[in-house]
Amino acid sequence: MCGWQAAKRGQRVCIIDHMNKVGEKIRISGGGRSNFTNLYCSPDNFISQNLHFPKSALKRFTQHDFISLVEGHGIAYHEKPCDENVDQSSKGQLFCDNSAVEIIDMLCNGFEGNGGKFSLGTKITQVEKQGEVYLLKSDKGEFSCEALVIASGGLSIPKIGASNFGYELAKKFDLNIIPPRAGLVPLTFNEELLAKTKELSGVSVNAVVSCADKSFREGLLFTHRGLSGPVILQISSYWQEGEEISINLLPELDVFAALKLSREKSPKQMLHNVLSDMLPNKLARMIAEDSGHDIRIADLSDKKLRIIEGRISAWKVKPKGSEGYRTAEVTLGGVDTDEISSKTFETKKSKGLYFIGEVLDVTGHLGGHNFQWAWSSGWCAGQYI
């Protein structure tokens, strides 16, 4: 996007990539159909040490601007159907009808159609600044430029080329780094907790998950390692190691009232059978057995029903960790935005050096927001390089 905009302005632009293919993260996103933006994208959908930083770019190049590009290139798309009970941040996700490759082709054609050049499979080995010029050494020769844009992303999904290149270059030019960590990532359990939940792998429910004064409501999935699903990916960006998360497995139901009604109408039913009317069978059995009260519901006092309600509506879980960068969709942290102009994306310490996209300390929620940050930051920097 940045190269396209700069080339359109008549600049001589070369995009250097150590991978042999461009846009692999676009290609694999959205199950191969690319969740390329979100209708409701706003600064509220982002995490950063400075939440004011992304506002300018998101306002100057909006999701509607990108949608106009998509429509102008004849790319068919659709909004993901969404349960009305999920969070606003989960709604408005746009996907290609056919293939994410259409988005990649649109960007590449825009770039090359305006004279831009690619140098793929090219590994940069050294970057130096001499006067107003940046000199780049690579395994395919040397490059020089007056404007150097780092759009190298974070550490997520190393198998498609993610690396720490951007962070190391930022350090070389004396820029502060907010410590990176995996975001939008499944959470893992310790062996003791896994022993209780291992039979639940594949079970899913619509849940509310809370941590650090943040709550999300969407699908939760039990895995053989712990928990995943959109609601877990969302909360993982706010969760810190050692903290608990609180899970409401039945947010649409007054569980205590439902249990009391069952006790009145079906007193001879075992607790796990009562819970099976509310939750998937395997999950109901696990909760009943774990509560220590899997007996006839007639024999359970209000106090014990309250305990069972708490286990369903406010299940406290302390994850062991996350699955890390291998499966994380994004990287939290990155180049400190205090070092960067929110208008041009040029560094304040080194004229002609720019950082855009995920390499910066700006991370979006799940649902197309991170791609929109890429388009917005790239577009803005492309107006100035």
In this predicted structure, the answer to whether residue 289 has a pLDDT above a threshold of 70 is yes
What separation in angstroms does the CA of 376 have from each of 207, 265, 296, 344, 382? 32, 58, 59, 11, 10
CATH classification at residue 101: 3.50.50.60
Specify whether 223 is located in the same domain as 115: no
Residue 30 lies in domain: 2-182+329-382
User: What is the tally of structural domains in the chain?
Assistant: 2
C-alpha closest to that of 63 among 90, 86, 18, 94: 94
The pLDDT of residue 89 is 64
Place 5 in a pLDDT band, splitting at 50, 70 and 90.
very high
pLDDT in tens, 155-189: 999 999 999 999 999 999 999 999 999 999 999 99
What's the whole-number mean pLDDT along residues 201-217?
96
92 and 230, same domain (yes or no): no
What phi, psi does 297 have (nearest 5°)? -65, -25
Residue 174 shares a structural domain with residue 29: yes
- Are residues 57 and 148 located together in one domain of the fold? yes
pLDDT score for 288? 95
Residues 29 and 110 in one domain: yes
Mean pLDDT score, 326-352: 97
Q: Tokens standing for 257? A: 């009232």
Q: What is the pLDDT of residues 47-64, one digit of tens each?
A: 999 999 999 999 999 999
Are 164 and 19 members of one domain? yes
Whether residue 341 is found in the same domain as residue 227? no
Same domain, 95 and 155: yes
* Paired tokens of 58: 């998101």
Using DSSP, state whether 134 is helix, strand or coil: strand
Tally of CA atoms within 13 A in the half-sphere of 296 that contains its CB: 7
Question: Of 322, 342, 364, which closes a domain?
Answer: 322
Distance CA 35, CA 26 (A): 8
Residues 340 and 298 in one domain: no
Interval 111-151: pLDDT, tens:
999 999 999 999 999 999 999 999 999 999 999 999 999 99
Alpha-carbon span 368 to 345, nearest angstrom:
21
Largest CA distance in the chain: 85
φ and ψ at 248, to 5 degrees?
-100, 110
Tell which phi-psi region holds residue 370, choosing left (phi > 0), alpha (psi between -120 and 50) or beta: alpha
Query: With 80 as the cut, is the pLDDT of residue 90 above it?
Result: no
Same domain, yes or no, for 302 and 343? Answer: no
- Domain end call among 298, 322, 346: 322
Boundary of a domain, candidates 300, 322, 344: 322
Question: In this predicted structure, what is the pLDDT of residue 82?
Answer: 79
CATH of the domain at 263: 2.40.30.10
Asked if residue 302 and residue 335 are part of one domain, the reply reads: no
359-374 pLDDT per residue, tens: 999 999 999 999 999 9
Distance between CA atoms of 233 and 236, rounded to whole angstroms?
5
Same domain membership, residue 336 and residue 252: no
| pLDDT above 80: residue 83 | no
- Token output for 321: 């960790």
Distance of alpha carbon 360 from alpha carbon 251, whole angstroms? 35
